[in-house]
Structure 1
Amino acid sequence: MKLHLSRPSDLRLNASIAITGSKSESNRSLLLKALYPNLMISNMSNSDDADVMQKGLAVSHGLVDIHHAGTAMRFLTGYFASQEGKEVTLTGSQRMTERPVKVLVDALRTLGADIEYLKDEGYPPIKIKGRKLTEREVSLPANISSQYISSLLLIAPSLENGLELELIGKITSVPYIRMTLALLSEIGIVNSFEGNTIQVMSKTSVADKTLTVESDWSSASYFYGSIALAEVGSEITLSAYKESSLQGDSVLAEIYKDLGVETTFGNDRITLRKTVDERPEILKVALHNAPDIAQTIAVTCFGLGIACHLTGLHTLKIKETDRLEALHTELSKLGADISVTDAELRLSPSQEIRQNMAIDTYNDHRMAMAFAPLAIKTSLFVNDAGVVSKSYPDFWKDLKTLGFQITES
């Protein structure tokens, strides 16, 4: 599906939008529910990723195809490795077979797992024969994706002796690790995170409980981008959000202050307001703990005509696409002066934004959604626009609520 986007008729945006649960929290909660079936989940994400995760957890033997869902690949690898008697082949899209799992597989093998690569060493597809894992101690590099770490932490309470995980080096993506540990604490699992050592105690059963998933902050980022590019006085209310969020991307509220966007919390919702039209000459942000909002921030800065320097982006190379190279290619199409390395992005101020360019999305939901707010400044096309269903199936409908003109072409 190819969509044509053009500016809203009224650039003073005003709308209220309900966003479903965080994909990150939903997938963690789903795995915990698989381990402890008496748990219930409310406000679960309606994303493709959560659907794939739920379906994967229901399989006990045979093929599990998780398509583009990287979180499901990492979480299900740990889950099936620890499930005695289950035997599955875990695979995904072509891009998924290029995304490494070796660090996680090595750690699980240290704990006693039986995992075999079926094609290339270190990459899916993998065959997993579930076993009772009795070893307790394992180590991982600290600068890897937090999903590897969370995969181990989520299965830890179901292991006979629990888990002691040592992280080697400087830790990145700390909020996602703390999100996992907070969910464990919420259901009564004793854990600790001191220095570079994480311990999770074993627990065979938990009390009945409903896990309420907060709405997705990554999804909120596209409305922050829209408000920043819109006129002063624009206002969007989003639900359901908490001021004390477990999600690292909630740092958006602080980052976008510098771009004229004020965030107000109240009644489990946030209200975004464009309060001033002043902006810095350059926005410098370290995104080690929130790399998923890098695309939105880069596009916002380009639309505002300001420079930005984003760091801490090393994990973006192995996402649904190489997001740094994808940003370089697509922003350059629009006239941006941009450079990227393996972990940084630099953008110079741009006076011109080219019209009616077609943005390629590379099977990456965030490419489609990050570029969409730019329609406030220029008309553009989005190729393979249906890719948003991976995390936010209602995105185009909600964007129309803001007045964006969207037609299929």
Structure 2
Amino acid sequence: MNITLQKSKIAKQSSVQITGSKSESNRLLLLQALYPEFELKNVSNSDDSHLMTKALNSTSNIIDIHHAGTAMRFLTAYFSIQEGREVILTGSQRMKERPIKILVEALQDLGADITYQANEGFPPIRIKGKKLTKHQVSLKANVSSQYISALLLIASKLENGLELTLEGNITSVPYINMTLSLLNETGLETSFVENTITVKPHVKSLEPKTLVVESDWSSASYYFSIVALSDIGTEITLTSYKENSLQGDSVLVEIYKHFGVATKFESNTIVLTKKNQNLEPKAFNLVNAPDIAQTIAVTCFALGISCDLTGLHTLKIKETDRLVALKTEIEKLGGEVNITDESLHLSASKIIKESVSIATYNDHRMAMAFAPLALKVPVIIEDSGVVSKSYPTFWDDLKSIGFEITQ
């Protein structure tokens, strides 16, 4: 369904409750499947987390995770250690184009029985679960941190634990640290020294406990953008967030200072306030937080300022090639964008074309990143339901703070 966001003006003060982090939820859901003795609260209501839960509880031998890339990686590792279980793990057409060879080869090196069902290096894959006794493996570290996290999440259930050596520059370190912190929080032993990560074996039960998932910082990014595009004094309160967050995207607090947005932590909330207007050109290396690149690019375009975004090499293997998608859609709006395999340069433009129809490419972040533009001009968002992948109540929440949205 396409929707039209009329040119809007939001309330001077408003608040939004955001669902739990998809990244944290999916890690903890897998750990809970391995160690059922702990309880989870504030789990993400995203499609990806629903698909993760459904797959972990399924008794079928065909598991279809649709567009959920995190679930594909994590479940590849999970099912490889489910002794006596055989599954075919598949997904959408786009998922069948997203590489998984590096992870599969690492699991095979540990002894896993995984074979490709169509194209070498890509889903669907057949996994015959078995006991894995090998404990040393090396992995290229510059492609996707989810490959690393997938191995770490099952590591404690390997008979001899895991010693993982990372080769080359490590991508998205905060996501690796998130995984290790969650392992530690559940009671598992880990270490990360230089380029080697070690997880001790723990095949018994863990102490029962309740873990509360922090709300999603990637979802918060759209409100940082909204405040940046609003009048000075505009204030939005978001729940529930921690100052010492495990999520790499919490770097938003520092980045959006450059757009005049101040962030104040109050108990379990953050209060975003537009303090001043800063229209200087921007340059950010987002290697540790690539998921907020789309939000930042649109913020810069809407404010008519230039930006250089680097560290974006993983964006080509997301739900779509996000660099190409950003270039295409911003140029439809009248902007000028140049991209390489790992960077995006936006030239300042004072013109924003009205009522342009934004294609979303089955990518939730394309839909949400472009929504704040409605504070400047009317904009049409195609296939608006795609937001359910990570933030199902997004459009309702925008309406609650003053956005005018029609079908």
Per the normalisation by structure 2, the TM-score is 0.99
Give the alignment of 1:23-62 within 5 angstroms.
Answer: 23-62=22-61
Identify which range, 53-62 or 207-216, moves more after superposition. Answer: 53-62
Q: Which residue of 2 aligns with 1:74?
A: 73
The separation in 2 between residues aligned to 1:58 and 1:128, in whole angstroms, is: 17
Superposition map of 1:119-198 within 5 A: 119-198=118-197
Q: Which residue of 1 aligns with 2:374?
A: 375
Structure 1 residue 11, shift from structure 2 partner = 4.7
Report what 2:330 is aligned to.
331
Counterpart position of 1:206 = 206
Distance 2:60 2:49 in 1: 20
State the distance in 2 between where 1:278 and 1:307 align: 12
- Per the TM alignment, residue 50 of structure 1 is displaced from its structure 2 partner at its CA by 0.1
Tell me by how many angstroms 1:12 deviates.
5.4
Secondary structure of the corresponding residue to residue 156 of structure 2: helix
Distance 1:58 1:112 in 2: 25
Q: Are 2:263 and 1:263 aligned?
A: yes
Q: CA deviation at 1:291?
A: 0.1
The residue number in structure 1 matching 2:391 is: 392
- Residue of structure 1 in register with 2:235 after alignment: 235
Question: Offset at 1:15?
Answer: 0.8
Is residue 109 of structure 2 the alignment partner of residue 100 of structure 1?
Answer: no
The alignment partner of 2:39 has SS state of strand
Letter aligned with residue 50 of structure 2? D
Contact kept in structure 2, 1:85 and 1:130, CA below 8 Å: yes
Rate the CA distance shift 1:86–1:41 in 2: closer, same or farther, 3 A: same
User: What whole-Å deviation, never above 9, does each CA across 1:162-204 have from its counterpart, x for those lacking one?
Assistant: 0000000111200000000000101111100010000000112
1:13 to partner: Cα distance: 3.7
C-alpha displacement at 1:277, in angstroms? Answer: 1.6
Contact 1:61 1:87 in 2 (8 A): no
Residue 352 of structure 1 corresponds to: 351
Conserved? CA contact 1:64–1:89, under 8 Å: yes
Could you tell me how far apart the structure 1 residues matched to 2:7 and 2:151 are? 45
Q: Which residue of 1 aligns with 2:294?
A: 295
Letter aligned with residue 270 of structure 2: I
Q: What one-letter code is carried by the residue in structure 2 that aligns with 1:85?
A: G
Q: Give the length in aligned residue pairs.
A: 406
Q: CA deviation at 1:59?
A: 2.4
One-letter amino acid of the counterpart of residue 350, structure 1: S
AA paired with 1:177?
I
Q: Is the 8 A contact 1:173 1:288 kept in 2?
A: yes
Supply the AA of the counterpart residue of 2:237: T
Gaps in structure 1 of 5+ consecutive residues:
none
**2:362 — aligned with what?**
363
Letter in 1 for 2:133: T
Matched AA of 1:178: N
TM superposition shift of 1:7: 2.5
Cα RMSD after superposing both structures: 0.8
Query: Counterpart amino acid of 2:125?
Result: I
CA contact (8 A) 1:13 1:403 kept: no
1:222–1:241 distance in 2 versus 1, CA, 3 Å:
same
Q: Percent identity?
A: 62
Q: Helix, strand or coil for the counterpart of 2:15?
A: strand
- Choose 237-246 or 60-69, whichever is displaced more: 60-69
Query: Any idea what the Cα deviations from partners look like across 1:2-35, whole Å, max 9, x if unmatched?
Result: 0000232x45542110001000000000000000
Q: Secondary structure at the match of 1:324?
A: helix
1:116 aligns with 2:105: no
Asked if the contact 2:10/2:401 (under 8 Å) is kept, the reply is: no
Structure 1 residue aligned with 2:254: 254
Aligned twin of 1:218: 218
In the aligned structure 2, how far is the partner of 1:96 from the partner of 1:270? Answer: 35
1:12–1:231: 8 Å Cα contact kept in structure 2?
A: no
Deviation by residue 1:237-292 (Cα, 9 ceiling, x = unmatched): 00000000000000000000000100000110100000012332x11000000000
CA offset digits 1:139-164 (Å, max 9, x no partner)? 11111211000000000011110000
Question: Partner letter of residue 301 of structure 1?
Answer: C
In the TM superposition, residue 209 of structure 1 has moved relative to its aligned partner by 1.0
SS for the counterpart of 1:158 is coil
User: Quick one: distance in 1 between partners of 2:190 and 2:258?
Assistant: 37
CA distance in 2 between counterparts of 1:122 and 1:244 reads 38
1:119 positional shift = 0.2
Tell me how far 1:60 sits from its aligned partner.
Answer: 4.1
